[in-house]
Structure 1
Amino acid sequence: MRLIDTHSHLFLEEFSEDLPQVIERARSAGVTHIFMPNIDSTTIDSMLSVCNTYNDYCFPMIGLHPTSVNADYEKELEIVARELRSFNKYIAIGEVGMDLYWDKTFLKEQQIVLDKQINWALEYDLPVVIHCRDAFGYIYNVLEPYKNTSLKGVFHSFTGTDDEAARILEFSGFLIGINGVVTFKKSRLPEVLTKIPLEKIVLETDSPYLTPVPNRGKRNESAYVKDTLMKVSDIYRMSPEAVGRVTSENALKVFGMLK
């Protein structure tokens, strides 16, 4: 079995007491790589510390999460810019995007910040990992001018409609990130996935959030990507080994790590 967790926040304090065990359980589940999206300037050090400790297993991204965008966004962006200039081990710009679920106060600023980070993704030839919550139309409008560029990336934690999936796939370099939400009882994702080629899918956990069935209620961790794999295998009517292989190749390709 080969699995890649393309989106996991194992550097957060939820894992401070048992990270070695969490990593070992991930390895035992067949996870070969864990990709770690940054949140803001407060998380860079802890993320890099974990990635340095588990070198060649955990891989960092750099970006400013939309829920951390406020009136001081320019200071945060300068830190992202500095990191991009000084450290060449980042595998993506992420996680970035827009989130209007809690608050729309900084809607315009979120658009500006997303556009700036998309430009960095193109400048540094890195994929972009997009967070979208109650903001699909806004994000699509920011992305649309880049449709005929080399922009590539992952639309993380996808929970949208058939139409939204189709609009994402208008961008040839984009993949769709599927996590534990697909296992939830009321999720419409299983139906939507029947219209999306497996070659456009990557798997993720979004640990410590969105724990899949049958572990709902527990802290999520990278090993549980296997529960999502089993559900996706059922939807595509393919063996777990085949789905693991295809989604892992998809991930390595978009993140520029396919050897």
Structure 2
Amino acid sequence: MLTDTHTHLNAAQFDEDREEVIQRAVDAGVTRIVNIGFNRETIPTSMELAEKYDFIYSAIGWHPQDAKDMRPEDLEWIEELCKHEKVVAIGEIGLDYYWDTSPKETQDRVFREQIRLAKKIGMPIVIHNRDAHHDIIQVLREEKAAEVGGIMHCYSGSWETAKLCLDMNFYISFGGPVTFKNAKQPKEVLAQVPLDRLLIETDSPYLTPHPHRGKRNESSYVRLVAEAAAEIRGMSLEELAQITTQNAIKLLGIR
């Protein structure tokens, strides 16, 4: 009963064996997957996966790295696609100050536009945050994102920042880094997040958990994330899987 709340199964890294990768996830006990479409190329392919597989859903939005390429009609396109029954969130959206691919002011504008769209249609958002903790919190506050809430994807910040996110109606999601030996902060935060706000993910093909670190990640490995999270929280894998799946169902409205 595992749920991978963030993956990129439509990525080119899976072109040779996508069906086998998806079957391995099923065999590992993954019953629900949320796949991300984040620009003009990946939104259609994410929708295709969601339409092909009953247990795959799609979140669609415009990634901050691609913010400079977003046109007004793209926002209208996203709004129209959000009417599809398999689209469960707007994302991943946010700010990325690590990769210098789009100007900060452009990222900020595109981020705000998508939060406003989410509020307009009543849909949760999935937040991408890289090296932009302060500005992410500021934008979420100013745009009153608590009205829709959502997911802090692959959370890497402090417990203090996590508390601010929790206060704004966000769930905190953890991926492969919680399996890394020296990843002290993610483990400390995971240990403190209220169980009813906890989610797990892979972000595959990226952020591969131990012991496969350095290789391509895939959705079946969400089980390794769940095992690490269960150990940190002092509970069984089955209980952790059930709680995080129920959280995903409640937030995203997936079946």
Instruction: Decide: shared fold, TM above 0.5.
Output: yes
The alpha-carbon deviation at position 91 of structure 1 amounts to: 0.8
TM-score (norm 2): 0.94
Partner of 1:21: 20
Partner of 1:37: 36
AA of the residue aligned to 2:135: Y
The alpha-carbon deviation at position 83 of structure 1 amounts to: 3.0
AA of the residue aligned to 1:186: N
Secondary structure in structure 1 of the residue aligned to 2:122: coil
For the Cα contact (< 8 Å) 1:51–1:60, is it kept in 2?
yes
Q: Per-residue displacement from partner, 1:140-194 (whole Å, max 9, x unpaired)?
A: 11111344852220000101111111111111x2100100011112212112222
Work out whether 1:102 is the aligned partner of 2:105. no
- Runs (5+) with no aligned partner, structure 1: none
Partner of 1:51: 50
| Structure-2 separation of matches of 1:229 and 1:22 | 18
| Structure-2 separation of matches of 1:7 and 1:105 | 23
Q: Per-residue displacement from partner, 1:51-78 (whole Å, max 9, x unpaired)?
A: 2221x21111221011111165445434
AA of the residue aligned to 2:43: I
Secondary structure in structure 2 of the residue aligned to 1:118: helix
| Structure-2 separation of matches of 1:5 and 1:149 | 23
Greater strand fraction, Structure 1 or Structure 2: 2
Distance change >3 Å, CA 53–CA 88, structure 1 → 2? closer
Please give the root-mean-square deviation of Cα atoms over the aligned residues, in Å.
1.7
Work out whether 1:177 is the aligned partner of 2:173. yes
| Structure-2 separation of matches of 1:14 and 1:166 | 35
| Structure-2 separation of matches of 1:137 and 1:75 | 30
Secondary structure in structure 2 of the residue aligned to 1:69: helix
Counterpart mapping for 1:69-148 below 5 A? 69-70=67-68, 72-84=70-82, 87-103=84-100, 106-147=103-144
Identity %: 39
For the Cα contact (< 8 Å) 2:66–2:101, is it kept in 1?
no
For the Cα contact (< 8 Å) 1:156–1:178, is it kept in 2?
yes
| Structure-2 separation of matches of 1:46 and 1:230 | 30
- Corresponding residue to 1:62 among 60, 63, 74: 60
- Runs (5+) with no aligned partner, structure 2: none
| Structure-2 separation of matches of 1:135 and 1:73 | 23
The alpha-carbon deviation at position 117 of structure 1 amounts to: 0.7
AA of the residue aligned to 1:141: Q
- Corresponding residue to 2:242 among 225, 240, 245: 245
Greater helix fraction, Structure 1 or Structure 2: 2
| Structure-2 separation of matches of 1:28 and 1:175 | 27
Partner of 1:7: 6
| Structure-2 separation of matches of 1:205 and 1:105 | 25
Quick check: 73-82 or 32-41, which moved more? 73-82
AA of the residue aligned to 1:24: Q
Secondary structure in structure 1 of the residue aligned to 2:142: helix
| Structure-1 separation of matches of 2:89 and 2:69 | 25
| Structure-2 separation of matches of 1:19 and 1:148 | 35
Distance change >3 Å, CA 4–CA 148, structure 1 → 2? closer
Secondary structure in structure 2 of the residue aligned to 1:185: coil
Counterpart mapping for 1:183-202 below 5 A? 183-188=179-184, 189-202=186-199
| Structure-1 separation of matches of 2:109 and 2:163 | 25
